[in-house]
Structure 1
Amino acid sequence: MRVDLFDFVLPPERIALRPARPRDAARMLVVRGDIAPFGDCTVRDLPAQLRRGDVLVFNDTRVIPAQLEGRRGDARIGATLHKRIDLRRWQAFIRNGKRLRVGDVVQFARDVAAIAEARHDDGSWTLAFVGDEPVEVLLERAGTMPLPPYIAGKRPTDEADRSDYQTMFAREEGAVAAPTAALHFTPDLLAALDEAGIGRETLTLHVGAGTFLPVKVEDTAEHRMHSEWGRIEPDVAARLNAARQAGGRVIAVGTTSLRVLESATGDDGIIQPFSGDTDIFITPGYRFRAIDGLMTNFHLPRSTLFMLVSALMGMERMQAAYAHAIAEHYRFYSYGDGSLLLP
Structure 2
Amino acid sequence: MSGYRYDLPERLIAQQPTDRRGDSRLLVVHREGGAPESRSFRDFPDFVRPGDLLVVNDTRVLPARLWARKEATGGRVELLAVRPLADGAWAAMVRPSARVAAGTRVCVVRRGPLAESSSEDTGAADPILVVGDDVGSGLRQLAIATGAQGDTPRDLSQVLERWGEMPLPPYIRREDGPRSEDRHRYQCVYAAHEGAVAAPTAGLHFTNDMLDHLRAMGVAVAPVTLHVGPGTFQPIRTENLADHSMHTETFCVPPETARQVERCIDAGGRVVAVGTTVCRSLESWHRMGRPADGAFRETSLFLRPGDGPRLKTALLTNFHLPESSLLVLVASLLGRERALDIYAHAVQKDYRFYSYGDAMLIL
- Compute the TM-score of the two structures, normalised by the length of structure 2: 0.87
SS in 2 for 1:265: helix
Contact 1:26 1:338 (8 Å CA) reproduced = yes
Asked whether 1:275 is paired with 2:292, we answer: no
Aligned twin of 2:201? 180
Q: Tell me, which stretches of 5 or more residues in structure 1 are unaligned?
A: none
Contact 2:308 2:329 (8 Å CA) reproduced = no
2-structure distance, mates of 1:214, 1:180: 18
Q: Tell me, which stretches of 5 or more residues in structure 2 are unaligned?
A: 110-124, 147-152
CA RMSD, aligned part only?
A: 2.0
- Please report how far the alpha carbon of residue 24 of structure 1 lies from its aligned counterpart in structure 2 after TM superposition: 1.6
Alignment identity in percent?
40
- Please report how far the alpha carbon of residue 315 of structure 1 lies from its aligned counterpart in structure 2 after TM superposition: 0.8
Aligned twin of 1:116? 131
Which has the larger displacement, 4-13 or 101-110? 101-110
1-structure distance, mates of 2:200, 2:343: 20
Aligned twin of 2:28? 30
SS in 1 for 2:296: strand
Asked whether 1:239 is paired with 2:266, we answer: no
2-structure distance, mates of 1:48, 1:274: 34
Aligned twin of 1:220? 241
1-structure distance, mates of 2:206, 2:195: 21
Which has the larger displacement, 87-96 or 240-249? 87-96
Amino acid at match of 2:326: L
Q: Aligned ranges for residues 157-196 of structure 1 at < 5 Å?
A: 157-196=178-217
Aligned twin of 1:332? 353
- Please report how far the alpha carbon of residue 34 of structure 1 lies from its aligned counterpart in structure 2 after TM superposition: 4.3
Aligned twin of 1:80? 80
Contact 2:249 2:298 (8 Å CA) reproduced = yes
- Please report how far the alpha carbon of residue 140 of structure 1 lies from its aligned counterpart in structure 2 after TM superposition: 1.6
Amino acid at match of 1:188: D
Aligned twin of 2:159? 138
1-structure distance, mates of 2:40, 2:87: 42
Contact 2:65 2:167 (8 Å CA) reproduced = yes
- Compute the TM-score of the two structures, normalised by the length of structure 1: 0.92
SS in 2 for 1:25: coil
2-structure distance, mates of 1:9, 1:274: 41
Runs of 4+ deviating beyond 4 Å: none
Amino acid at match of 2:305: P
Which has the larger displacement, 32-41 or 216-225? 216-225
Against the structure 1 CA distance between its residues 203 and 121, is the aligned structure 2 distance closer, same or farther, given a 3 Å change threshold? closer
Asked whether 1:126 is paired with 2:141, we answer: yes
Q: Select the structure of larger CA radius of gyration.
A: 2
2-structure distance, mates of 1:99, 1:218: 33
Q: Deviations over 1:16-67 (max 9, x none)?
A: 1111232222100011114222111111111111222111101111111101
Against the structure 1 CA distance between its residues 35 and 291, is the aligned structure 2 distance closer, same or farther, given a 3 Å change threshold? closer
Contact 1:207 1:228 (8 Å CA) reproduced = yes
2-structure distance, mates of 1:81, 1:224: 23
